[in-house]
Amino acid sequence: MGARQLVWATGVVLLGAACSGHSQATTDTFTPCVIGVGVQTGVCMSDLYAEGSKSDQRTVPMFGGFVVFGYAPYLGLQGEVSYLSRGSDELELDYLQFALLGRLGGITMPRDPQAALIPKIFGGFGVSHLLSDHGASAESSDVSLIFGAGADIKFGPRRRLTVDYRYDYGIRDVFPKSRNRSTLLMFGVSF
């Protein structure tokens, strides 16, 4: 499957998930459902790490979309598609990243479904497809572990502002003995 087909397939899955229904009880019971679909933007601070050395940090904007599935009051799953530019000041690497994150918190508080601030922690993995390496001959894909924390701020029955701080640790060499490492500060809105 080519990159274009992968992007279209992901879009169809996210759209289908968003349209599948929004049925969450407001009592102490919880019905698994789509919690929200949203967009996010922020900054990606990245460098290339090789054994014993580190490149200059590169700071660039990032953007993407996400869908959150709630499976229990404090447990959920978040799927994302994001455009990230990584590498270093000398080597620009542009990626389309597909991430799957487990979430603890950030779904709802069962005793207070109208809670305004809902903290969360999450972890998972990302698979990134290289869009452009600007002639640097990098590997065509990257795999990373993602960990972070944040909060959702509710401002309506279905609307939330999201704030996330993440560490994206590359576990695959993109150049011989060099891996991407990124810190991301992201803001988003879901509906």
86-111 burial, b for 16+ CB within 10 Å, e for fewer? bbbeebbbbbbbbbebebebbbbebe
Per-residue pLDDT for 136 more than 70?
yes
Residue 14 included in any domain? no
The pLDDT assigned to 115 comes to: 63
User: Has residue 26 been placed in a domain?
Assistant: no
In a domain, 178, yes or no: yes
99 falls within a domain:
yes
Asked whether the predicted pLDDT for residue 32 surpasses 60, the reply is yes
Domain extent for 53: 3-7+34-190
Give yes or no for residue 92 having a pLDDT over 50. Answer: yes
Flag whether 41 is in a domain: yes
Q: How far apart are CA 23 and CA 30, in angstroms?
A: 9
Per residue in 37-55, pLDDT (tens digit) is 999 999 999 999 887 777 8
Is 38 a member of any domain? yes
Confidence (pTM): 0.79
The domain total for the chain is 1
What is the Cα–Cα distance from 187 to 164, expressed in whole angstroms? Answer: 7
Who's near 4: CB < 8 A, 6+ residues apart?
none
The mean predicted confidence, pLDDT, of the chain is 83
Q: Residue 150's domain is classified under what CATH number?
A: 2.40.160.20
Higher pLDDT: 73 or 135? It is 135
